[in-house]
Amino acid sequence: MVFVADAQGRVDQRSAALERRFGADALSVGALADAASQVGLSRFLEELRAGASGEHTFTAAGGGKLRCEVRRADDGALYGALHVVDAETTTARIERRLLRALMENLDIVLWAVDRPGFFVYHDGKALEEMDMAPGQLLGLNVFELYGEEGSKDTVAAFDGVSASRHELRDGIYWNHWFIPLPNEEGVIDHVAGFSLDVSKAKQVEATLKKQLETVELQQEALKELEVPLIEVWDKVLTVPVVGVIDSQRANSLIDRLLTEVSRAGALFAILDLTGVEALDTSTAGHLLKLISSIRLLGAEGVITGISPHVAQTIVGIGVDLKSVKTCANLRDGLRYCMAKMGA
């Protein structure tokens, strides 16, 4: 049960639940309590200074305990909510405390509007970032404040459709949710809103993205260093391969070398294996595939610098290099290429 009252305590607006409980006739906040509790309730309201808030439990007119949560605006108006204490279960009390803990510890704003569009709830820690005070929007109309475009998600929520959207405002990233709030009869008479400041998460996301881009650039640079391509003579490319050639390095070598052979119009590509420590069946197959691909581009592949260990491996796994020109070292390979070109 929620209400808005003027500075003298006269109730100007009331929710349907409050109207069912106390009627639709003219009503003051003090009259919500029975005779014995009216003095205590009136004193509680008087103690609230402008902009202050608090809660007070009293015996209601007609019986039953009510807990009254009230916030007094700068103009003296009272914005309150009534909770039936007798009907409040342990779970409900915990949920209320959890809600308060969320609002006080998370960068979040919670609000609610009634069907005419008036704010009946407005609180949360993140209001400070918006240069707003808790309850500042109470009594104002969401449709008048934000217009048709800015209120379309609220309208959708009154039609029973939950909505969410993202927004960047004044350098702050917000995630907004609009949730229908049906009453006991299932009629949506209020819409709740949640606005969460996700700027820190966005900053972390941007940092991680930048770090990932840096890692990818570093990986590309490492690939360049792992398999450098050198044009040692006009139309002659040399690839000095060092270390263990696995499938990943072999595929990278194929892609880069074929691209460069095509771009430079090379006639020869020398694969210098002087620094290769090990070779397996799969890698040997990749090398043969590379030589064949080079040949299809109109160039000739030459292998140089095969070590005794690698030679034994090639023979042991039955790889046939008869169709491939091999030379003892890079110098001999270069001489071969120059002789073929008549240089």
**Rounded Cα distance, 106 and 231, in Å:** 61
The per-residue pLDDT for 327 is 93
Rounded to whole angstroms, the Cα distance separating 284 from 286 reads: 5
Backbone angles phi and psi of 2, in degrees to 5: -125, 155
Q: Could you name the CATH architecture of 1-88?
A: 2-Layer Sandwich (3.30)
DSSP state letter for 25: S
Per-position DSSP letters for 108-169, written without gaps between them:
EEEEEEETT-BEEEEE-GGGGGGT--TTTTTT-BHHHHHHHHHTHHHHHHHTT--EEEEEEE
Q: What is the CATH number of domain 99-214?
A: 3.30.450.20
Max intra-chain CA distance, the chain: 118
Q: Do 1-88 and 99-214 agree at the fold level?
A: yes
d(CA 241, CA 203): 41
Q: Report residue 131 as tokens.
A: 């240069």
Residue 332: both structure tokens together: 């001999």
The pLDDT, as a whole number, for residue 225 is 44
For residue range 203-233, what is the model confidence (pLDDT) as tens digits? Answer: 777 777 887 777 776 665 445 445 678 888 8
First to last CA, the chain: 98
Q: Where are the alpha helices (DSSP H) in 123-246?
A: 142-150, 152-158, 199-226
pTM for this model (two decimals): 0.41
Q: Which two tokens stand for residue 59?
A: 């015996």
Neighbours of 118 (CB within 10 A): 19
Helix axis angle, 199-226 to 247-264, nearest 10°: 70
The domains of the chain are located at 1-88, 99-214, 227-341
CATH topology of domain 227-341: Transcription Regulator spoIIAA (3.30.750)
Cα–Cα dist 191/214, whole Å:
45
What's the mean pLDDT when you consider all of the chain?
A: 84
Q: How far is CA 186 from the centre of its chain?
A: 34
Structure tokens given for 68? 């009254």
Ranges in the chain, pLDDT < 50: 221-222, 224-225
- C-alpha distance from residue 320 to each of 149, 240, 293 (Å): 73, 22, 16
